[in-house]
Chains A and B, each alone.
Chain A
Amino acid sequence: MDKSEFDVVIIGGGHNALTCAAYLARANVDVCILEGRHEWGGALYTAENTAPGFCHNIHANFMEFLHFMPFYADFDLPGLGARTIYPEAQAGIAFSDGRPPVIIYREDMIERTCQNFAVYSERDAETWRALKTKANEFAPMMFGNLYTPPAKFDLQKDGLPTVNNAPMTFKFFGLDEEMAYKSIRDCVDELFETDEIRALFYRVAVEFCGPPIEWPGTGGTFLFACLWMPGCWRMMVGGTHRLNGAMVTACLKEGVTMRESSRVERVILEAGRAVGVETVDGRRYTARQAVVSGIGLKDTFQDLVGEERLSDYYRRRVAHFKDGPDQVLGSVAMALREAPDYKSAARDPDINKAWYQVVGYDSAEEVLNYCRAGHIDRIPELPGAGVWVNSIWDPSQAPAGQHNLTGWYFFPRASCLSEAEWEEVKRSYNGRFLALYEKFAPNMTPSNVIADYLHTPLDQERGMRMREGDFGHGAMSPDQTGLMRPFAGASRYATEIEGLYLCGSCTFPGGGVTAAPGYNCFKILCEDFGYPEVWRSESRSY
């Protein structure tokens, strides 16, 4: 019979949970990890769901944290099969009238981006040169912060800590501190004069993270999403799920007991303490020291623990935790005979080889309207998207000579539409997108598409248990970020229930393939249980 007693039992097999498990096992803790789905890795998910041989990363695709991620280095994930490609042209936008494309290149190719921007504006090129140089300098500091648990603070005694350290960061960039209190859009508009360049920044900001781009007080996100992130993206050879493969191998090597198809239905409490879990097939797993949850906040407290076991404060805070409306995407996947060939490529062929390609907008205004739709619970009228064709760099992701296009629509939360309405979107939206696409890339005709698929926020909610389809397991609004994530008093991974910890994206620093919540939670477990601090490394401060 299967073993059922462990030091630590982890709920969920996403990358954060895998991170926590691998470090625990390395610290000689007897750990078991339980995943509800038939596959590991949560949103490190690659599906072959259009046509045979076409791999689509219908969740995470762009890996920007790998080179700072402790898990990646400490467990030699490249040696376990996590190989990467680093495309030169990282993000671009094409236009239907064949205007020159705007392209952002890798962080080590600042000059090429400047040359591209200079086609429209010398001033914007100058601005990029100055700011991107600063962003590169800033990155190591940011990472130290991400991979360290938020500081302890006592709300009663100390009052609300400074939640926004963005003003300081703006100063570091040589910019006005006041910009921190503005919106992403204001920051973009103030710094860049070209409409085409603004359009690209808006789209990148809305899709990759954070709050609605017109919300005041989100300037910090501008620094992160527009200045730092484009330029750092690595692709996983063979699809994002291969990163999961390496993580799983690392866990197994360290001796983690892993069970898939084992959805946890209940956290078992004894005398107020978490002592184990029960899975859907009726099995019980005893945790001698801790139960660690790598799933959503409401899932943990409302579904598995039960609201009746919570204090009033926890019950309220959990109930009020917001999922979406930012960080909600629909994923489009198309099996193609040919990769898209843009009209704008006549002006600069690199747009055909830009990794993240923004399609469907001819002005910044159109992107803005698109972004606004999701925030008023609507499907955008203009079916633009951000897409990528990984097979251009990694032929193993599609049959020989053919291509795997995948992309995102910015969509409203899962609950904004009925199941029937989502069905209708599934049936029709890709077709509408394609009709628009052809205006930008004439070879994107229906006959170029072998098969297509649309994964809605509702699918994400159901399949991955991401409520509302929120890819970060909780909105990144100021009241749910930093020391306030998931809510004040709960930001250090321990919870009010003794023996119950959180290690998923609902905790600091939030969503994205950072592996930071899992890593930080491990640090706290070391403090609480005296485990050896195997996270320490000569080569980094965090």
Chain B
Amino acid sequence: MGMFDEEFDAIVIGAGHNGMALAGYLARSGWSVAVLERRTEEGGGLCTEELTEPNFLHNLHSNYHSLVGLSPVYDDLELEANGVDYAHPDVQMGSIFSDGTAITVHRDMEKTHRSFARFSQKDADTWLRLWEEVGGYMDLLVRTLMYAPPIALNDLTRALASWGVEEKSEFLSARLRSMSVAEFLDKHFENDRIKAMLAFHAAVCAYQPHVKGLAVTLPVLLGKISNWQLCKGGSHRLAHTLMRVIVKHGGRVYPQVPVEEIVVEGGRAVGVRVPDGFVRAKKLVASSIDVNQTFETLLQPKHVPAKTLEGVAGVEYQDATLFNVHAALNGLPRYKAAEFDPDIDRAWILNVGFESLEDFRQEFDCVRSGRLPEVPRLNVAVNSLYDPTDAPAGKATGLIRVFAPHALVDGGAEAWDERGREYGERCVERWASVCANWDDDALMRRFAVETPFDISRKMINYRFGDWMVGRIHPSNLLEHRPTEELAQYRTPVEGLYLCGASQHPHGYITFAPGYNCLGVIAEDHGLDKWWEEI
């Protein structure tokens, strides 16, 4: 059986970006490493498929990468020199409103300021002050809140207090820990639409605007509002790049090898069982998948303390997942709102339908009750604007995402198989209604839908379709993610580590869980840290 004759220093379960990054660091440290992946492709949420037609590249999962340049992994693993290539759209985000007006968020904050000022001069000025203030501590926040093991919220609050946050900062405060994003925005801004634009940005990052306590990391989120980047050639190219790094340093990635058991001997994880047999791990096993699979399915119950199992059973998942429409278009859409703000035609991440904070409340209430809104509110992106190679010449690839329940109130998750197409049509109609050239140019060639149920079947670690692999809620963030016991990347099973999105900080293409787990492993195994510590 050729493939697994060798044993490895480390086995990583799951070839998502977190698992692959960890493997890349370990391989470069001289360890023999194998990454085992159950799907036919490596990459996990870095998944690009020609879902509609040949040459139309659709990012089924991650599409917006927001930590390029901020995450240390890009430099450490020399991802650019190994072939990844990003576009950084000049018009980052936009909102189209029902009265024909629009807001645009630019990389150039002066332009953003001008766009906001058309709605409220005061808010535009506030925004600039906020932006400048955040710029002053962005690096520090990213370093301490993302690329380091989680700190306790109390410690964070204490640190802020002793720094004298109330005097030194207009926007930070110890009180943020009990505020929602919506409350923060209400406090500082007056215009509904500007608030909606900023809340939309938070919602795209899985921060539901009305969840209490999430304002605590809002400054980091807002500080990244101009760092949305597009992986040219599809997000999957980042997976190819990681694969190159791993193999270059002697590691291996084996897709279509589902891990069925983590084998424990004498209280230590010593390897994994796969359909072909046993693969030995001399030093450690790192799991990048959901903790339910890791502890409830892959480990025999006798190896897991009851307390751990209890904690894992209580891990909560997001109540809003995503419904997706992938479109093959005959050209680039143009919007009616371009009469108001021509830049809207070039905005990458587009809000169609959220016009006030109240809209978010209604939307998430509706989703939580398992219903679909009459008129869907959309998140739209046409990647071809900034990467024309993702579609045939002159054509374009389009994406619509809407927040949606995993289980529908009538019929549960399975009902998506019947209703997905029809809901897709409603989303497309909504998009068409704000376009100026929809009919003239017969824009839509064909579309395919990926429902929340599809997500959970394709990616079994996205339980209930949860793309963040764990609820984004103060009860499941920082030192609580996924449980207090498991929050520091180590587990009660010696030699078993957790390195995926279930861990602090959360899902998204951040590389942070993998990077933070690396730090813990380096400590435990006395690894020489060749990478630059941030």
Contacts and interface: CB of A to CB of B under 8 A. Distances in A.
Contact of B244 (A252, A263, A460): A252
Number of contact residues on A: which range applies? 35 or more
B306 interface: no
B272 to A, nearest CB: 16
B457 interface: yes
Contacts of B253: 245, 249
B3 A396 contact: no
Contacts, number: 108
Nearest to A245: B255
B255 A242 contact: yes
A78 to B, nearest CB: 4
B81 A3 contact: yes
Given A38-B57, A78-B3, A459-B53, A237 B247 contact: no
Interface string B45-58: 00011110111010
B232 A261 contact: yes
Nearest to A242: B256
A182 to B, nearest CB: 39
B240 A81 contact: no
Which of A51, A238, A463 has the most C-beta atoms of chain B within 10 angstroms of its own C-beta? A238
A386 interface: no
B525 to A, nearest CB: 25
Given A281-B389, A462-B55, A396 B258 contact: yes
Interface string A231-248: 000000111011001001
A224 to B, nearest CB: 29
Given A2-B83, A245-B255, A281-B389, A81 B54 contact: no
B158 interface: no
Interface of A: 1-3, 38-40, 46-49, 51-53, 55, 76, 78-81, 83, 237-239, 241-242, 245, 248-249, 252-253, 255, 258-261, 263, 280-281, 396, 399, 450, 459-460, 462-464
A258 B454 CA distance: 32
A464 B247 CA distance: 26
Closest 4 CB pairs of A and B: A261-B233, A463-B54, A238-B256, A52-B458
B40 interface: yes
Interface in B7-29: none
Contact of A464 (B54, B57, B258): B54
Contacts of A249: 247, 252-253
Contacts of A1: 81
B2 A47 contact: no
Contacts of A47: 49-50
Which of B85, B233, B417, B457 has most chain A Cβ within 10 Å?
B233
Nearest to B275: A396
A172 to B, nearest CB: 35
B248 interface: yes
B3 A2 contact: no
B392 interface: yes
A260 B237 contact: yes
B401 interface: no
B214 interface: no
Contact of A252 (B3, B38, B57, B243): B243
Contacts of B232: 261, 281
A460 B54 CA distance: 8
Contact of A241 (B3, B5, B40): B40
A239 B2 contact: no
Given A259-B83, A261-B232, A396-B258, A83 B276 contact: yes
Nearest to A236: B256
B189 interface: no
Given A237-B256, A260-B237, A463-B55, A38 B48 contact: yes
A230 B223 CA distance: 62
A252 B244 CA distance: 7
A260 B255 CA distance: 19
A51 B455 CA distance: 10
Contacts of B49: 47-49
A399 B57 CA distance: 24
B258 to A, nearest CB: 7
B234 A261 contact: yes
Classify the secondary structure of A's interface with B: loop
B55 A260 contact: no
Contact of B40 (A48, A76, A259): A48
B46 to A, nearest CB: 11
Contacts of A38: 48, 57, 233-234, 236-237
Chain B interface size range:
35 or more
A460 B51 CA distance: 14
Nearest to A460: B54
A38 B455 CA distance: 21
B199 to A, nearest CB: 31
A459 B455 CA distance: 26
Given A258-B244, A463-B50, A238 B276 contact: no
Given A396-B258, A463-B50, A463-B55, A252 B276 contact: no
Q: Which of A1, A47, A261, A463 has the most CB of B within 10 A?
A: A261
Contacts of A39: 236
19 contacts: A2-B81, A3-B81, A38-B234, A46-B40, A48-B40, A48-B49, A52-B458, A76-B2, A80-B252, A81-B252, A81-B257, A83-B276, A237-B256, A241-B40, A258-B83, A261-B232, A263-B389, A396-B38, A462-B54
Nearest to A423: B446
Nearest to B80: A2
Contacts of B392: 462
Contacts of A53: 457-458
Interface in B352-369: none
Contacts of B276: 83
A238 B40 contact: yes
Nearest to A450: B417
A460 B55 CA distance: 10
A242 B57 contact: no
B131 interface: no
B447 to A, nearest CB: 14
B184 interface: no
A40 B81 CA distance: 19
B254 interface: yes
Contact of B3 (A3, A83, A258, A260): A83
A245 B39 CA distance: 13
Contacts of A239: 40, 256
Nearest to A37: B55
Contacts of A83: 1-3, 276
A48 B50 CA distance: 9
Given A52-B458, A83-B3, A252 B252 contact: no
Interface string B253-290: 11111100000000000000001100000000000000
Contacts of B3: 78-81, 83
A252 B248 contact: yes
Contacts of A78: 2-3
Contacts of A51: 454, 457
B390 to A, nearest CB: 8
Nearest to B48: A38
Nearest to B248: A252
B233 A48 contact: no
Given A38-B236, A46-B40, A245-B253, 4 more contacts: A249-B247, A261-B389, A280-B389, A281-B389
Nearest to A3: B81
B34 to A, nearest CB: 10
A412 B377 CA distance: 44
Nearest to A256: B244
B245 to A, nearest CB: 9
A281 B48 CA distance: 19
A238 B40 CA distance: 6
B225 to A, nearest CB: 27
A249 B458 CA distance: 25
